[in-house]
Amino acid sequence: MLPPTANHFVRDGVAMFADVLTPEEAVAYRNLLPADVAGQRNLWQRFPAIRTLAEDPRLQQLLMSMGVDGARPVRAVFFDKNPAHNWRVPWHQDLTIVVRKREEVSGYGPWSVKEGVPHVQPPAELLARMVTLRVHLDDCEADNGALRVRPGSHLAGRLPCDAIAGWADASEITCAIRAGGVVAMRPLLLHASAPAIRPAHRRVIHLEYSSDSLPPPLEWPPLDPAGLEILR
């Protein structure tokens, strides 16, 4: 796999790090999170231990090794591709962020609401500076619905849906990784996953980080549940 260095990450938009969490920590997080669900949003509002993970010095060190400094966690999501929830994800980019409250600001939109929380598409320039850390809690092999990515595709910026097909012949990497490992990627990197051929749990804590402040009055969501404005 790609060496997890700043130059490679800038070029490829993806890097892998083995054994970031200990086996015992991976088990503890598996036991903390819900069983037999496809996923859950707003993790640190539900589980304070996820905030601790997002701010863990080991994850901060990974970010700095890729040339990302001063980034704060801004979203946490749980995914579990398992025998009861074995889905296919087509090639796409991650285009939305979570904010504290809907506020109309030029360049931000369209809006959506997921689990009562406002989401919005920001300018591509902001997405290009963000980093996602996917913390794996189970061994994830190529036949277990592992993440697939097209290195370098993030450099093309936000792609219209009909332009994604133009990357069909580009090189591809399958991010097979052991429990406790972390896959780092840019949100604009084209990524996908196939249904598992050998269905088993593929639990991932998906953490997004940004070094940017949002233009007032928009704000990133707080890390404590009391400050998050849930839409009713």
What tokens does 176 get?
């097979």
Cα separation values, 120 from 5, 48, 111, 149, Å: 31, 25, 4, 24
pTM of the model: 0.94
What tokens does 29 get?
């997080």
CATH architecture of the region 6-93+127-211: Sandwich (2.60)
What is the spatial distance between Cα 46 and Cα 26, in angstroms, rounded to a whole number? 18
H or E stretch at 31: helix 23-32
Report the residue count for the chain.
232
Per-residue pLDDT for the chain (232 aa), expressed as one digit of tens each? Answer: 444 567 899 999 999 999 999 999 999 999 999 987 899 998 988 899 999 999 999 999 999 999 898 999 999 999 999 888 888 899 999 999 999 999 999 999 999 999 889 999 999 999 999 999 999 999 999 998 899 999 999 999 999 989 999 998 999 999 999 999 999 999 999 999 998 888 789 999 999 999 999 999 999 998 765 544 443 3
Q: Which residues contact 32 (CB under 8 A, 6 or more apart)?
A: 47, 49
CB–CB of 201/145 below 8 Å?
Answer: no
Residue 162 is given by DSSP the state H
